[in-house]
Structure 1
Amino acid sequence: MTTTATPAPPFGRALCAMITPFTDSGALDLDGAQRLADRLVTEGCDGLVLSGTTGESPTTTDSEKSALVRAVREAVGERASIVAGVGTADTRHTVELALAAEKAGADGVLVVTPYYSRPPQDAVEEHFRTVADASGLPVVLYDIPGRTGTRIEPDTMLRLAAHPRIVAVKDCSYDFLGTQKVLSRTELAYYAGCEEHILALYAMGGTGYVSTVANLVPRQLRSILDAFDAGDTARAARLQQQATELIESTMSAGLPGTVTVKALLNDLDLPAGPVRAPLRPADRKTTDGLRAAYERLRAA
């Protein structure tokens, strides 16, 4: 099917891939999560993605994931969508997490390509269909081959788009041609998963973004979309460019975004806490560089 209409945003446009706050002892900090979630929504986030890569999903338990959804739902009410990360390397476990997320009050689930085992495309497709069939929640496909080792190929996306509950993609494929192919032939809502692509993907017909950096500057990133929607494309481009230094410092400095974001949030006295092993905290020099880039963006 060929379509020229921009898909409606199933979870809003400006989504934050929220960190999972921990206490100093490493326990789940639900109070901190509620305070951070409230701040993010107040500052312009339409939705929050919990227990994704940024949320340290590999090192949180199933019960912690459900507790986090319930706590954040209590904090934000209906002011924002909640998408729960449920993807694992095991189809059966992913289904269990999807059902638990539905019970806990999530609005949708984020399902990453099964990692490590490197399944072929027919197995990837069957994995996503099985998860989508298992619950009543809409599904966001998470295409991030740099972490999983396996791409959701465009032709696989085209077939999956026919499933009534597969509604969106978080795109970290770094394949704009493949993305354009799927956008032009489906009604899947495409969210930029890489902050440097926010404006480019939005201008091409994407829906918005799921951003790690939005933990730090939710209002500034949302302003890129707002400027474009207002017809001020020059301002949108300028705002995207102004965010480049912080995006690079956060996402391309040799450390995972979880580490850099938590370092800066802690420095700003906002809820974050430590990362869980095997991740290690950022050093003081890195944190100071992040803080400087953050202050320059805030002053722009």
Structure 2
Amino acid sequence: MMLDTSAAGVFVIAPTPFADDGALDLDSAARMTEAFLEAGATGLTLLGIMGEAPKLDAEESLRFAQHVITRVGGRVPVIVGVSAPGFAAMRSLARGAMDAGAAGVMIAPAAGLRGDDAVMAYLRQASQVVGDAPWVLQDYPQLTSVAISAGMVTTLANEDARLVMLKAEDHPGLDKLSAIRAAEAKGARRLAILGGNGGIFLPQEIERGADGIMTGYAVPEMLVRVRELILQGEREAAHDLFDLHLPLIRYELQPGLGLAVRKHALMRRGIIASAALRNPGPKLTPATLAEVEFILARLARRDPTLRL
């Protein structure tokens, strides 16, 4: 199953489960995979920003990706993030992931690139490094400090048929999304567009023309249902459901702390065995844990999807 521009729905970004001692927890990875598929995921993304990819060595990264891809068994496409400081590591992981059955790879520009020419040159080079693999452009300037305009996205799309998806995480980015769709209406090659940013703009992104979302929110069932409701014309119901989840979405979006919160919520749902982050990583204080537990309990009373 190869990724193409028809991709749509909810691609859940999977965290990398660790045991309390920091070892890879592949049993939790298998359980997590099944839980996300049961939640309605139309794809999975591994080794993204929320996958703690920089904390894994090359062998662990490939072993984790192979394990999940095997568990998925072709039921949905699996994207593997291959961004790396050097092209040798990117090439090796991309080749290994595609050989294991990945549907495509995801590339973000290297942090700190300055100027359109430098950004475009890097992305063109990186796309050649991953060979024939379909690829996803991750536009996440809050992390990379790299600006990619709507025009740059459409130029790359027109140049390279292997570029099949944009992970749109500029913030604010809704007008950029609209600009890309407007350019496509005038003849630019169409890309699948999936939003991100923890889901904070999910309803608006779908209404602006996004095909879905790629994020790791701890209750992906909500993401699936909100998108379906909007596509069915049930806008008020979609926004009402989304609004119930905003406190947890907001808490998960805290820079530096969000992944620890998300892993705790996934542990409380029985999806992973431990909320451990591999060091260096933050620990939730008792006060923070109490707040998260209050949010989860309150949400569970209002949305039966969230079973604790």
TM-score normalised by length of structure 1: 0.90
| Paired residue type of 2:194 | Y
Q: Which amino acid aligns with 1:280?
A: P
For residue 203 of structure 1, what is the aligned residue in structure 2?
Answer: 207
Alignment RMSD (CA, Å): 1.8
Contact 1:84/1:109 (8 A) holds in 2? yes
Separation (CA, whole Å) in 2 of partners of 1:85 and 1:10: 19
Q: What is the CA deviation profile of residues 190-246 of structure 1, one whole-angstrom value per residue up to 9, with x for unaligned ones?
A: 111121111101111101101121xx2121221000111212111111122122111
One-letter code aligned to 2:204:
A
Q: Deviations over 1:122-164 (max 9, x none)?
A: 2322222233333222111111111111122222112111110
Aligned to 2:115: 120
SS state at 1:128 partner? helix
Among candidates 168, 173, 182, match of residue 170 of structure 2: 173
Contact 2:80 2:106 in 1 (8 A): yes
Match of 2:306 in 1: none
**Which residue is equivalent to 1:105?**
101
Unaligned runs of 5+ in 2: 185-189, 303-308
Q: Deviations over 1:87-119 (max 9, x none)?
A: 12333432332222212221111111211x424
Relative to structure 1, is the Cα distance of residues 120 and 126 closer, same or farther in structure 2, using a 3 angstrom cutoff?
A: same
User: Partners of 1:157 and 1:91 in 2: how far apart?
Assistant: 21
Matched, 1:247 2:249: yes
Q: Distance in 1 between matches of 2:233 and 2:95?
A: 41
Query: 1:224 and 2:226 equivalent?
Result: yes
Give the match for residue 8 of structure 2.
Answer: 12
Q: Name the stretch that deviates more: 277-286 or 230-239.
A: 277-286
Structure 2 counterpart of 1:129 = 124
Change (3 A) 1:209 1:233: same
CA contact (8 A) 1:56 1:258 kept: no
- Measure the CA separation in 1 of the matches of 2:202 and 2:5: 15
Q: Quick one: distance in 1 between partners of 2:268 and 2:89?
A: 36
How far apart are residue 9 of structure 1 and its match? 5.8
Residues 251 and 185 (structure 1), Cα distance of their counterparts in 2 relative to 1, 3 Å cut: same
The residue type equivalent to 1:266 in the other structure is M
Match of 1:27?
23
Q: Does the aligned pair in 1 maintain the 2:256–2:282 contact within 8 Å?
A: no
Alpha-carbon distance between aligned partners in 1 of 2:12 and 2:222, rounded to the nearest angstrom:
12
- SS of 1:54 mapped into structure 2: helix
Letter in 2 for 1:231: G
5+ residue gaps, structure 1: 1-7
Q: Which amino acid aligns with 1:166?
A: L
Q: Is the 8 A contact 1:69 1:105 kept in 2?
A: no
Q: What is the aligned length? A: 289
